[in-house]
A and B are shown apart, each in its own frame.
Chain A
Amino acid sequence: MKQKEILARLPYEKPFLFVDEIQEVTEDGAKGSFTFHDGLDFYKGHFKGNPVTPGVILTECCAQIGLVCLGIFLVGAAELEASNVLIGMSSSEMEFLQPVFPRETVTVISHKVYFRFQKLKCEVKMYNSNKDLVCKGTLSGMLKVSKYG
């Protein structure tokens, strides 16, 4: 499956789409990037007068690129043609090492731990444009293909 097809099948849109580009996706992992525009709504409140990207949003960005893009690739084009994919994050364990400010571009790299019985578990790492590690952790989600959905 091509990267564009994966992007087209992502079940998100603005203001909650945190994937701009997928650079690489294989059976073992995915790599993609996103730029946090300064107009994003949460910067108004996190924090007052001092905009910093919230950790939950960094986690979401890691999940959308590392888990969901990879999951769509793994489930495969054939399965997706006639069906919907139901997605839910089931667990996240993240460590945050660097702040991400408005207008920064981040790159997420994920490695599959396993994809079995509709559960995808990945180790994810996010880097900023200086190649500093921003956050890392382990994310899991359920990907169900619903034939009637």
Chain B
Amino acid sequence: MQEVKKYQKLKNIIQVYLPEDVSVDEIRPSSNFVSELNINSANLVDIILDVEDAFDIRLENEDMNQMQTVADALHIINSKLNG
């Protein structure tokens, strides 16, 4: 899968859990899920579960701890896909 495609796929997942006051255009690779996109920890779990289904991978607790930004998430997805 191309990087652009992966990013788009991830963006589509994140979009569902954005609070009303954050627009889709604000999602950037550098965006911090909690402090910039205002996603709470309960919704972050839902994003992770959707990512697992969409990319057919399994994430662990340490992956979640490392997943601060959208780029972190992509990095983790890539390492699982190649792992």
Contacts and interface: CB of A to CB of B under 8 A. Distances in A.
* Centre residue among A90, A91, A117, A119 by max chain B CB count within 10 A: A117
A141 to B, nearest CB: 8
A117 B40 contact: no
A130 to B, nearest CB: 35
Nearest to B46: A119
Contacts, number: 23
**Range of interface residues on chain B?**
10 to 19
A91 B42 contact: yes
A-side interface mostly: strand
A142 interface: yes
Interface residues of A, number: 10
Contact of B48 (A117, A140, A141, A142): A117
B34 interface: no
Interface of B: 40-46, 48-49, 61, 64
Given A117-B44, A118-B41, A119-B42, 9 more contacts: A90-B40, A90-B42, A90-B43, A91-B42, A114-B49, A116-B45, A116-B49, A117-B45, A117-B61
